[in-house]
Chains A and B, each alone.
Chain A
């Protein structure tokens, strides 16, 4: 393709600048978590690991961390089952309303999060469900289904249904075919989808804020209720880095597993 030398250099520079724009704020928060000063002034005064030690000893942060992990694992398991079932139905069958289903799956992340949050909290209140870990999981599972669905359906598209037919012809029943043929074919896409679901759940705040109630705090909610307290600032920085790590590492692993397939789709 013909592009002027000037244009090529400009595009290269612009791309570098945008990458810097994306990563500098992330680097800054990591740097601040090691800041020896209690206040966030620039340049930082020195480096310390002290805040990490204090954060891991802090009861609020520990409880929030375990609540976040529990919510993310619960939501991921539900999303795994439901997302896989929908992907199998949509990819391997032709039926009325098929298009609508893929639309329905994406709706929880396409509608503004506040809508999903309030709608679910309204429903929980009206049926008298106590808000807590369980309601957080229900909310998270609802918008996590899409990550599993996208990954599994992308894999199924590239796996011919004729393997499953051959298995049936050789006498394997529906369950055996699923266990021996379909499952091995989609296994890595399930892992990748689950990692993305975990990440999506782990740092979620918009929906969680409405479905958590007063009795339980996830790590993002702990940050949200402490960020404006000056004396908590160093611990908020550490909590922020924890949330970042526990969401960015699963995503990185997911992209390694699938080489971007499926994961590129929002």
Chain B
């Protein structure tokens, strides 16, 4: 009777195949093992993705010859000068940032009640159902949802049809529509991190606050909000960034131009890739600053 007859015995020594030799080498050198794991994905992310971003940044210093339409690769600050000195581009940048901020604030206000209900009031069963109901629209149907709002807000659409008996009309297409639709689109991105943040707030802290005489509002403002601030900032990364670069929503439900539309038109209509790149640096720089601040405030742990 050999030891191999028992089910708990060591595995039989495998034949010394090339795969086996490779496995042994990998086992002896954790560094090589790590390198093997990371080579392909880092190659992809660094070469394909970061490489593209860097090339994109470099092209923002190129220009397009206005006669031949050819790319001039001589570095210049011409595109940046055009963007910073042209009134309309500044206005559009400010309008876009303002819209992103407004959408973020609105989503925070709308997310709080339902996130609080999910985290602190709902039964386990209801909570599970609610989490799924928020996750489904978070992951799916972006264009479809914008398109649905187009049908709702159009002149003879659902909203006006429903409001007609009361003698009022909906906002129609325009900046209010953009605000409404962006809020609608990105609301789940705020609810989920806020819910996760609220769930981690110990009930005992809230009880202690009320035992010490604080009513609902002071408890909310001085205990709950500071504790879930990282979660709010984590959610706001998405609501802010996604609004900042959205060119589909303004196209479908307004005639107003936002940064995304201008970049899109520079590339498509004007065929001026370098100018598009230069203008795209505005949202990129804003988001990088935003991400750095968010990281300092501990938002990444809440992500």
Question: How far is A4 from B142 in the complex, measured between Cα atoms in Å?
Answer: 38
Question: How far is A196 from B138 in the complex, measured between Cα atoms in Å?
Answer: 11
Q: With contacts A122-B56, A252-B132 known, is A8 near B138, CB below 8 A?
A: no
B137–A22 touching, CB < 8 Å? yes
Asked if B161 is at the interface of the complex by the 8 Å CB criterion, the answer is yes
B44–A89 touching, CB < 8 Å? no
Asked if A156 is at the interface of the complex by the 8 Å CB criterion, the answer is no
* Contact bitstring B107-119, A, C-beta under 8 A = 1, else 0: 0001001101110
- Kindly identify which residue among B45, B130, B136, B287 contacts A112, using a CB–CB cutoff of 8 Å: B287
Asked if A72 is at the interface of the complex by the 8 Å CB criterion, the answer is no
* Stretch in B78-86, B87-95, B276-284 with 4+ CB within 8 Å of A: B276-284
Question: How far is A101 from B14 in the complex, measured between Cα atoms in Å?
Answer: 36
Asked if B61 is at the interface of the complex by the 8 Å CB criterion, the answer is no
Question: How far is A254 from B18 in the complex, measured between Cα atoms in Å?
Answer: 38
Place the interface of chain B in its size category.
Answer: 35 or more
A83–B41 touching, CB < 8 Å? yes
Place the interface of chain A in its size category.
Answer: 35 or more
Asked if A138 is at the interface of the complex by the 8 Å CB criterion, the answer is yes
A:1-51 near B, CB below 8 Å: 1-4, 7-8, 10-12, 14-15, 18-19, 21-23, 25-26, 28-29, 32, 39-43
Interface residue ranges, A against B (CB under 8 Å): 1-4, 7-8, 10-12, 14-15, 18-19, 21-23, 25-26, 28-29, 32, 39-43, 78, 81-83, 85-86, 88-89, 93, 95, 101, 103-108, 110-116, 118-120, 122-123, 125-126, 138, 141-142, 145, 168, 170-176, 196, 199-200, 203-206, 210, 220, 223-224, 227, 236-237, 240-241, 243-244, 247-248, 251-252, 255, 259-260, 263-266
Interface residue ranges, B against A (CB under 8 Å): 10-11, 13-14, 19-20, 23-24, 26-27, 30, 33-34, 37-38, 40-42, 44-46, 48-53, 55-56, 59, 110, 113-114, 116-118, 120-121, 128, 130-145, 147-152, 154, 156-158, 160-162, 184, 187-189, 192-193, 196, 203, 206-207, 210, 216, 237-238, 241-242, 244-248, 252, 260, 263-264, 267, 273, 276-277, 280, 283-284, 287, 291, 300, 303
